């Protein structure tokens, strides 16, 4: 059996790099039956169909170090969130959306502020410092002037990095600048609506072939148009704003939502220790999280008596629709979350 890494997936075909040889593989029936996802980044075991061509069958997926759901990749060392300082215009709420998602996924992001050639220095600093002060690793780059690329190479070397960010921010252009042989397709941002044109259509992993490392991988991804929060519950949200943690301990109420409670230490710190744009994003995401929770819970709580202990226990009832939609395990997870939230 041969070993290799999945670097591209196209419909039913999995493209594998095995010691710089490329194989086009299909999945063995048993993997399909188990409904096991094979992701870009997976290390797999496969058998060649014949000695003469480069086709094979994947038999087994090796254990993963980690996996990310959006984009769907595995075995990554870091995620680099690419932001354009201009074209498309920088949006803090959008940055915070991605940051919350990475916190939720327990993946440490590196934030790359690209297109520095289009922006004044003091404006760049003002924007970047918001995230630097929170503790995020940041880097400023331009593919036009080459700013930041030495530093960037040092941050990428010997790692597998997945790029993330909306369309048009320069993800593919950055990869081309790191290795001019790759020649990935890029496209202008639309002047009409200040949006990218979704040029990259598929996830693909590339070896950057740095002079001093042949183990530096980068994954180009299609830019999301919108990352919606249909997975976070209200009580989980404040911990995803990592700078809130040190202040929320001093809120008067343990279950403070930091919205209109008296003696809320988060609200007290907005405008000094907590950036206004961060707090505004929090409020906006909280609304989305509440809507998500409402969608999950229609039927309220159910009280059952345990005849042995003669004690009552309260359960959360999930709506009928959700019951059909989700598998047993998922249901249990959701129930646990809500019961925790309602302190049942
Ligand atoms: N001025 C300037 N333009 C840049 C820079 N980086 C990228 N661009 C331009 O931005 C446009 C979009 O770049 P892409 O690399 O296609 O963006 P992308 O993030 O890959 O977009 P999708 O594939 O649609 O997700 C192209 O016209 C690039 O030339 C930069 O540092 N400065
Ligand atoms: Mg692209
Ligand atoms: Zn509070």
Q: Structural domains in the chain? A: 2-64 (2.40.50.140), 73-220 (3.40.50.300), 232-296 (1.10.40.50), 297-344 (no CATH)
Q: Is 142 in the pocket of ligand 1 (CB under 6 A)?
A: yes
HSE-CB for 212 with a 13 A CA cutoff: 4
- pLDDT (0 to 100) of residue 341: 60
State CA 146 to chain mean position distance.
27
Token pair 């997870």: residue: 333
Above pLDDT 90, what percent of the chain?
Answer: 71
Structure-token pair, residue 261: 């409670």
Cβ atoms of 115 and 142 closer than 8 Å: yes
Q: For residue 148, report the distance from its CA to the centre of ligand 1, in Å.
A: 16
Which ligand 1 atom sits nearest the alpha carbon of residue 185? 16
Q: CB within 8 A of 119, min separation 6: which ones?
A: 85, 86
What residues are neighbours of ligand 2 (ion), with CB under 5 Å?
171-172, 199-200
Ligand at shortest distance from the CA of 199: 1
Judged by average pLDDT, the poorest of 26-30, 42-46, 215-219, 315-319 is 315-319
Cα 289-294-298 angle, rounded to 5 deg: 160
| Helices and strands of the chain, counted as H and E runs | 11, 15
Instruction: Dump pLDDT digits (tens) for 163-211.
Output: 999 999 999 999 999 999 999 999 999 988 989 889 998 999 999 999 9
pTM for the complete prediction?
A: 0.86
Instruction: Dump pLDDT digits (tens) for 7-36.
Output: 999 988 999 999 889 999 999 988 877 777
Bond prior to 301 in cis (omega within 30° of 0): no
Mean pLDDT, the chain, as a whole number?
89
Q: For residue 31, report the distance from its CA to the centre of ligand 3, in Å.
A: 48
Ligand 1: residue whose CA is nearest its atom 2 = 115
Q: Is 185 in the pocket of ligand 1 (CB under 6 A)?
A: no
Structure-token pair, residue 343: 């302190």
Ligand 1: residue whose CA is nearest its atom 16 = 186
- pLDDT (0 to 100) of residue 54: 93
Which of 175, 187, 190, 198, when mutated, tests ligand 1's pocket best, judged by the most ligand atoms within 8 Å of its CB?
187
Judged by average pLDDT, the poorest of 31-35, 91-95, 121-125 is 31-35
Judge whether residue 325 has pLDDT over 60: no
Q: For residue 142, report the distance from its CA to the centre of ligand 1, in Å.
A: 10
The dihedral region occupied by 19, where left means phi > 0, alpha psi between -120 and 50, and beta the remainder, is: left
Ligand 1: residue whose CA is nearest its atom 7 = 170
């Amino acid at each position: 059996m041969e070993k290799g890494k999945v670097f591209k997936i196209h419909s039913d075909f999995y493209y594998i790099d095995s010691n710089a040889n490329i194989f086009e593989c299909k999945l063995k029936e048993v993997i399909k039956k188990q409904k096991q996802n094979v992701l870009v980044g997976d290390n797999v075991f496969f058998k060649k169909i014949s000695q003469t061509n480069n086709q094979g069958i994947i038999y087994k997926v090796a254990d993963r170090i980690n996996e990310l759901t959006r984009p769907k990749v595995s075995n990554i060392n870091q995620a680099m969130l690419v932001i354009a300082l201009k074209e498309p215009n920088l949006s803090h709420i959008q940055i915070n959306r991605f940051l919350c998602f990475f916190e939720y996924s327990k993946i440490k992001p590196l934030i790359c502020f690209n297109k520095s050639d289009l922006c004044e220095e003091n404006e760049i600093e003002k924007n970047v410092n918001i995230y630097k002060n929170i503790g995020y690793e940041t880097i400023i780059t331009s593919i036009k002037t080459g700013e930041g690329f030495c530093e960037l190479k040092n941050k990428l070397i010997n790692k597998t990095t997945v790029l993330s960010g909306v369309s048009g921010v320069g993800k593919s252009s950055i990869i081309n600048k790191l290795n001019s042989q790759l020649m990935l397709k890029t496209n202008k941002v639309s002047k009409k609506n200040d949006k990218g044109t979704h040029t990259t259509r598929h996830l693909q992993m590339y070896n950057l072939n740095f002079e001093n490392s042949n183990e530096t991988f980068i994954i180009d991804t299609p830019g999301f148009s919108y990352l919606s929060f249909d997975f976070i519950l209200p009580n989980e949200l404040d911990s995803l704003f990592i700078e809130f943690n040190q202040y929320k301990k001093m809120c008067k109420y343990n279950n403070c939502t930091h919205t209109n409670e008296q003696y809320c230490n988060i609200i007290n710190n907005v405008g000094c220790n907590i950036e206004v744009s961060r707090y505004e994003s929090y409020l906006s995401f909280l609304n989305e999280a509440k809507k998500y929770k409402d969608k999950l819970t229609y039927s309220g709580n159910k009280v059952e008596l345990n005849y042995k202990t003669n004690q009552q226990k309260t359960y959360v009832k999930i709506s009928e629709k959700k019951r059909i939609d989700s598998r047993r395990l998922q249901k249990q997870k959701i129930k646990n979350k809500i019961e925790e939230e309602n302190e049942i």
